[in-house]
Amino acid sequence: MKVKFDFTVDDLVDSSERAVARSGVARSWRWRGMLGSCALTAAVGYLLVPARPVFAAVVGAVVCGAIYPFSIGRSRKSRLQKYFREQFGGDGPFSCEVELTPTGLVTVQSGARTVRDWSSIVEIQETADSVDFISKGAGSLIVRNRAFRSAEEHAAFVKLARSYAPKVN
């Protein structure tokens, strides 16, 4: 079974964000970054407000903790957009073709043909806007729902994928 859809730089950023969200290592980096920023903000507050240094430190840390996830998220997304624009030569749309074969998951994108053996697929996730194939060592492949002409075609695609990769969810 073969499907085809167009994707944009924003789809690539979303895909990267999903991959990072699944990573315990990346989550620990984010927590360490936030804790470090909050500690630095608390230290600055403590040093700059001699009348109530502990209060200033606590307020600074809390405000930093509230703002950090939003500010760092925007910054990260902006950097990813720049990176993918550089790699793909623009914002898109770009074409992606995905074929389910008995030997593997075949993708054709930007002139490159890739085959992921079914043994490398560790999970198949259905989300509100996609079917995500999570691979061991090879990241993930996100097939957007716009690749399917109907809910029936979507269901048949997922059923066939699961039949080829019976050891995954």
Which residue do the tokens 């993708």 mark?
107
Mean pLDDT score across all residues of the chain:
86
Question: CA-CA distance, 136 to 125, in Å (whole number)?
Answer: 14
pLDDT at 19: 79
4 in Cβ contact with 96 (< 8 Å): yes
**Interacting residues of 80 by C-beta distance below 8 A, sequence separation 6+:** 12, 13, 16, 17
pLDDT at 157: 93
Q: Looking at 7-11, 20-24, 40-44, 74-78, which range is the least confident one? A: 20-24
pLDDT: is 18 or 103 the higher one? 103
Instruction: Write a three-state SS string for the chain.
Output: CEEEEEECHHHHHHHHHHHHHCCHHHHHHHHHHHHHHHHHHHHHHHHHCCCCHHHHHHHHHHHHHHHHHHHHHHHHHHHHHHHHHHHHCCCCCEEEEEEECCCEEEEEECCEEEEEEHHHEEEEEECCCEEEEEECCCCEEEEEHHHCCCHHHHHHHHHHHHHHCCCCC
Q: Using a pLDDT cut of 70, give the percent of the chain over it.
A: 96
- pLDDT tens by residue, 120-155: 888 898 888 899 998 887 678 889 999 999 999 999
User: Does the structure show a pLDDT above 70 at 166?
Assistant: no
Range 64-73 average pLDDT: 79
Distance of CA 113 to the CA centre of its chain: 22
Q: Hey, what domains does the chain have and what are their CATH numbers?
A: 2-8+91-164 (2.30.29), 10-88 (no CATH)
pLDDT at 125: 86
128's tokens: 């509100």
User: Does the structure show a pLDDT above 90 at 77?
Assistant: no
Range 48-76 average pLDDT: 84
56 in Cβ contact with 43 (< 8 Å): no
Range 18-47 average pLDDT: 82
